[in-house]
Amino acid sequence: MRITKCQLRLVIKEELHNFVPQDMYLRNDKHSGHIFERSYVTGVLGIRLPLNESYPYSPGVQRRIIQEQLLMEGFFGDLMAKGKEVADDMIEKGKAKLMSVKAGIAKFGKEAWDILSAFWHVIQGGASQIASFTKRIYRRGIDKLFSQIKEALTWLAEKLPNWGMPTFGGWAEKGMEMLTNFLEKIKGLDGWKKVIGFAGLAVGLHYIWDKVGEWIGELKEKIGGDFQAALGLGEAEGDSNKMDAIREWIKETATEKLKEIGGGGLKKVMEQLASVASGIKPWWDAAVKIAGGVKLVVDALGDAASAFMARQDSLSLQPQSEALVRRYVRNSLLVGSGGSYK
């Protein structure tokens, strides 16, 4: 099986890094040198390096890299192999290794393992794979629900204050602003935190849709099937009776629905799902609890995860092939420097 260009570039970068002497700060650090590669720093850790920063980095940047690496290792710690699973002849020194599939399924359950292990593989692939994965989550798990909820909230925020329901209108406006702000915030994330951010928003939107989706669908039908076209409802002659009926229906049914969106419930949910302070298992447990079960989480994330892992399987790299490339790169470097490969 052939090595992809991306994998070949990564191998060469790692061997160059190991061949070129590092400064004393990095030699004394316990972390593998790969965490200081620029593509890893920017793509995986999500650190935006200043234009004037290049390897070897300033002490302040080095410290930040190590801090971000420790944060990521801490977050994904429950997924990592420990003890006898980590053998020196299985992985390069300093690099984390996922626990076995059997152990992962036993610990998390199959649905969780399929999704959470995909997160890790995506992140280790760097910026391009993170971008591809989060784009798929957005298309399949965010965009459609976000658009439908936003259309409904925009209409409600516009109409309800003028219909004598300012509290409902305020909740709708607050919910709309909150959703927009969360989306913009996660779009601004980089590296591994972007994966967690997009996954959290997808689960949060599925949670909200499960609570209010049927109600929004009924409201849309009552106003004529198009929120944008119905912004002028009540202004045309003959709209009065229709408007009164809709207004009464909203008064009778909207309290619980709009309070869920704009009264603080949505904010609490989104903050829990955006948190990277606890760890991947607490994150998953919170997502399942919020969603009311595994099914809704899988609905939000399963498609993106399974598609990514299927693609990874088709591009998998044989260990023997990588070993041969590393041997060739090292030998070429040593010959070029007047040395010889042992």
C-alpha 191/C-alpha 321 separation (Å) is 28
Single out the residue of 319, 322, 340 nearest to residue 331, CA to CA: 340
Provide φ and ψ at 274, rounded to 5°: -90, -10
Q: Count CB neighbours of 108 within 10 A.
A: 21
Q: Give the integer Cα–Cα distance in Å for 330 and 281.
A: 39
Q: What's the rounded Cα separation, in Å, for the pair 304 and 137?
A: 6
- Average pLDDT per run of 10 along the chain, which is 342 residues long? 58 55 46 81 91 81 92 92 56 66 92 93 92 92 93 92 90 91 92 95 92 93 85 62 87 88 79 85 92 91 86 54 56 48 38
Separation between Cα atoms, residue 314 and residue 114, nearest integer Å: 16
Q: How far apart are CA 342 and CA 337, in angstroms?
A: 14
pLDDT at residue number 52:
79
Q: What pTM was computed for the model?
A: 0.78
Q: What is the pLDDT of residue 266?
A: 78
Residues 6+ apart with CB under 8 A from 39: 10, 13, 126, 127
pLDDT of residue 106: 94
Report d(CA 206, CA 215) in Å as an integer: 14
The pair phi, psi for residue 177, each rounded to 5°, is -65, -40
Q: What is the pLDDT of residue 26?
A: 47
Q: What is the pLDDT of residue 227?
A: 86
Q: What is the pLDDT of residues 284-305, one digit of tens each?
A: 999 999 888 999 999 999 988 9
117 membership: H or E segment, kind and range: helix 110-124
How many angstroms separate the CA atoms of 232 and 236, rounded?
A: 8
275-304 per-residue burial string, b: 16 or more CB within 10 A, e: under 16: ebeebbbebbebbbebbeebebbbbbbbeb
